Structure 1
Amino acid sequence: MAELPPSYNPPVPSYRAPAPSGHPKYDFNYAVKDDPSGNDFGHQESRDGYNTQGNYYVLLPDGRLQRVSYTVNGDSGYVAQVEYEGEAQYPAYQPAPAYQPSYKPAPGYA
């Protein structure tokens, strides 16, 4: 590996990030509900210092809605409570129809 000449001084970054002031505090949320695709999910969270609380939900493929509520308070770690709404639905198995190509093979030549 080539060594740099002793007079090399790396460039000084032109951006200095401001020092954080105070403790972290924020709130956010989002939700997505797309009926044609069946997507339904969202998330909400708020934080004030070391105290964080939130919840998120998702519509599962079996038709139930899964909700997770959680808290984080200091060094207590992530504490979650999971709940389900609705009844799981398992429709009867329907085998796919036999594959039918939509093209005809090219004619063979002898």
Structure 2
Amino acid sequence: AHPQYSFDYAVHDPHTGDVKNQWESRDGDVVKGSYSLVESDGTVRTVDYTADKHNGFNAVVKKSGHAIHPEQSSYHGHGLY
């Protein structure tokens, strides 16, 4: 039998901040795919991958966008003891 499939999905939940997607396809012994997700700092991580019996699993990771860091507190008062 010659294995063959393809799928994709996406999630975009503004309440939890869960934003991601993936696709993958297989044709015989060759699998190709990609997934991406929004990291907690606001950047997007994308992983493109391939796998086959000659080269094994190979992935290329890319990060895009600018990190958003929470503002630091400007309180410089004295604590209570």
- TM-score of the superposition, structure 1-length normalised? 0.62
Instruction: Give the alignment partner of residue 38 of structure 1, picking from 4, 7, 17.
Output: 17
Moved over 4 A (4+): none
The match for 1:80 is: 59
Between stretches 63-72 and 73-82, larger displacement belongs to 73-82
Question: 5+ residue gaps in structure 2?
Answer: 74-81
> What is the CA RMSD across the aligned residues, in angstroms?
1.1
Distance 2:57 2:40 in 1: 26
The match for 1:26 is: 5
AA at the equivalent of 1:28 = F
Aligned pairs, how many? 73
Match of 2:54, SS state, is helix
Alignment of 1:2-81 (within 5 A): 22-81=1-60
Distance 2:10 2:2 in 1: 27
- TM-score of the superposition, structure 2-length normalised? 0.83
